[in-house]
Chain A
């Protein structure tokens, strides 16, 4: 394998991984505050893509202008749809179960996942077709040819993914560390009862955490649609699982860790499908069929060595 081929795999992995990272942030923020895993987050992600596709398909003006000009509208609608779904889920599926045994919100999340998938499956409609989407549906594509960086090909959608992920992380880090609401969010994660004694409306902070996670997931789904050219009603399942894996890899509860975990996972997947065929002993475990297996092998190995994840704090530091 040449150096260019390896660089290509690393570039692809970085792009895929930053998309996983955007999803992982949502799992980690909600976990950091409520200690629950929002297993419906994969569907929150999926809804963003369908929201964007819906306006693109039904608003004729958007298809008349270049995709890059329509993109801000697609992103805003995607974010709005995902945020609405996530805050609705918080209000009606999770909040009533606060204080219930841990298993209750988990079951609620699984029910919600199936419900949201079925809503799209049965009711999402494109112009000129009948109601419902059973198969993957086409997503708008950039027509520009991939950029050639010294032999490494990077698509416009790939670059956009990197740019949006970087922007999202910088903005989020600034928000959490530097703003009044961000500090209130940290306080709520560290000690919710005492946060209330400071005058912090912790219910509101929880809604904001769900909303931020949903917004980043919506952006992730739009970039995924742009890169792969399709979205499907069940795309949130495996990708959501990857995002969750990335969050655990990075140390659940740690926002920067979630992005780092996503990148590690993306690189691992890319190398597993592209580099392993060149290693004789492992060639039979390579290719895209095996890449998910390798993703979870990495997860298991990391957790065996560092149960708190790559960048996780020990529980005692958070108490």
Chain B
């Protein structure tokens, strides 16, 4: 049985500059995997390549056994790979509910969509209150909830979250990370990119550490949280 997501020797370049220099990792069904690393390590570039917004310079990505080479972004999501982008990227002049429905853009099963809308509102009650409001008027934390809710609306086999806690108040950060933990508990497979390494390692089954385009460490969440190099570099301890 192969992994849900298999990334093999992936390389990605912007022009001549290689931002991702041959990384390999896997995500198994039901797992929460985190990719941590400092700013500029290549985490966002990696996720953009997985979802088809960027084309790799080399290597391969297999999702559910299918080679993603040449599959355009709008078809990748149809395969069950949802990408909740860094910086939230909600559609500001559409309402909260219209944003959520766009997450289910490719689905035709109206009853299933209604169920998932209800699930998103149960997960984030705040969104229910603001369902008819333009998304651009939400606070940063609410926008993050909306971006996550929207990504869940395609009922993904793998949910990729890029820095969901970025720029949020400590309380909001807690709420978002708790929700990620809850999604993981209820069986959603997650690939989490975070700069908040402590929170990410606490909830992940396995973790990879990225530095300047390469994976330099990997292990279980608890292993890495204990590793001395990680504690110094990413957890701010000495």
Q: Please state if B105 and A198 are interface contacts (CB–CB under 8 Å).
A: yes
**Consensus secondary structure, chain A interface:** helix
Asked if A183 CB lies within 8 Å of chain B CBs, one says yes
Asked if B114 CB lies within 8 Å of chain A CBs, one says no
Chain A 144-185 interface 0/1 with B at a Cβ cutoff of 8 Å (1 = within): 000000000000000000000000000000000000100110
Q: Which residues of chain B are within 8 angstroms of A187 by Cβ–Cβ distance? A: 91, 94, 102
Q: Which residues of chain A are within 8 angstroms of B51 by Cβ–Cβ distance? A: 197
Q: Which of B63-104 contact A (CB under 8 A)?
A: 72-75, 77-78, 82-83, 85, 89, 91-94, 98, 101-103
Q: Which of A182-199 contact B (CB under 8 A)?
A: 183-184, 186-187, 190-191, 193-199
Q: Please state if A198 and B103 are interface contacts (CB–CB under 8 Å).
A: yes
In the complex, residue of chain A having the shortest beta-carbon distance to the beta carbon of B75 = A199
Once the chains are docked, how many angstroms separate the CA of A201 from the CA of B71?
A: 12
In the complex, residue of chain A having the shortest beta-carbon distance to the beta carbon of B87 = A194
Once the chains are docked, how many angstroms separate the CA of A25 from the CA of B56?
A: 38
CB distance from B25 to the nearest CB of A (A): 21
Given contacts A180-B105, A183-B101, A183-B102, contact A197 B91 (CB under 8 A): no
Asked if A118 CB lies within 8 Å of chain B CBs, one says no
In the complex, residue of chain A having the shortest beta-carbon distance to the beta carbon of B88 = A194
Given contacts A183-B98, A197-B53, A197-B83, contact A317 B92 (CB under 8 A): yes
Given contacts A197-B83, A198-B102, A199-B105, contact A183 B77 (CB under 8 A): no
Q: Please state if A190 and B91 are interface contacts (CB–CB under 8 Å).
A: yes
In the complex, residue of chain A having the shortest beta-carbon distance to the beta carbon of B107 = A199
Q: Which residues of chain A are within 8 angstroms of B85 by Cβ–Cβ distance? A: 193-194, 197
Once the chains are docked, how many angstroms separate the CA of A244 from the CA of B66?
A: 47
Once the chains are docked, how many angstroms separate the CA of A318 from the CA of B94?
A: 11
Q: Please state if A197 and B94 are interface contacts (CB–CB under 8 Å).
A: no
Q: Please state if B92 and A193 are interface contacts (CB–CB under 8 Å).
A: no
**Which listed residue, B77, B89, B93, B136, touches A199 by the CB 8 Å rule?**
B77
Q: Please state if B74 and A194 are interface contacts (CB–CB under 8 Å).
A: no
CB distance from A101 to the nearest CB of B (A): 15
Asked if B154 CB lies within 8 Å of chain A CBs, one says yes
Q: Please state if A199 and B78 are interface contacts (CB–CB under 8 Å).
A: yes
Q: Please state if A202 and B74 are interface contacts (CB–CB under 8 Å).
A: yes
CB distance from A309 to the nearest CB of B (A): 16
**Which listed residue, B72, B75, B94, touches A183 by the CB 8 Å rule?**
B94
**Which listed residue, A180, A183, A186, A200, touches B74 by the CB 8 Å rule?**
A200
Given contacts A197-B51, A198-B103, contact A317 B136 (CB under 8 A): yes
Given contacts A183-B102, A197-B83, A198-B77, contact A190 B154 (CB under 8 A): no
Given A201-B72, A318-B93, A319-B92, 12 more contacts at CB 8 Å?
Answer: A183-B102, A186-B91, A186-B94, A190-B93, A191-B89, A197-B51, A197-B77, A198-B74, A198-B77, A198-B150, A200-B74, A317-B92
CB distance from B112 to the nearest CB of A (A): 15
In the complex, residue of chain A having the shortest beta-carbon distance to the beta carbon of B136 = A317
Asked if B217 CB lies within 8 Å of chain A CBs, one says no
**Which listed residue, A190, A200, A319, touches B105 by the CB 8 Å rule?**
A200
Q: Which residues of chain B are within 8 angstroms of A184 by Cβ–Cβ distance? A: 102, 105
Once the chains are docked, how many angstroms separate the CA of A212 from the CA of B7?
A: 42
Q: Which of A3-62 contact B (CB under 8 A)?
A: none
Q: List 30 A-B contacts (CB under 8 A).
A: A180-B105, A183-B98, A183-B102, A186-B91, A186-B93, A190-B92, A191-B89, A193-B73, A193-B85, A194-B89, A196-B72, A196-B73, A197-B73, A197-B77, A197-B85, A198-B74, A198-B102, A198-B106, A198-B150, A199-B74, A199-B75, A199-B77, A200-B74, A200-B102, A200-B105, A201-B72, A313-B93, A318-B92, A318-B93, A319-B92
Once the chains are docked, how many angstroms separate the CA of A184 from the CA of B53?
A: 17
Once the chains are docked, how many angstroms separate the CA of A197 from the CA of B160?
A: 11
Once the chains are docked, how many angstroms separate the CA of A190 from the CA of B72?
A: 20
CB distance from A117 to the nearest CB of B (A): 36
Q: Which residues of chain B are within 8 angstroms of A317 by Cβ–Cβ distance? A: 92-93, 136
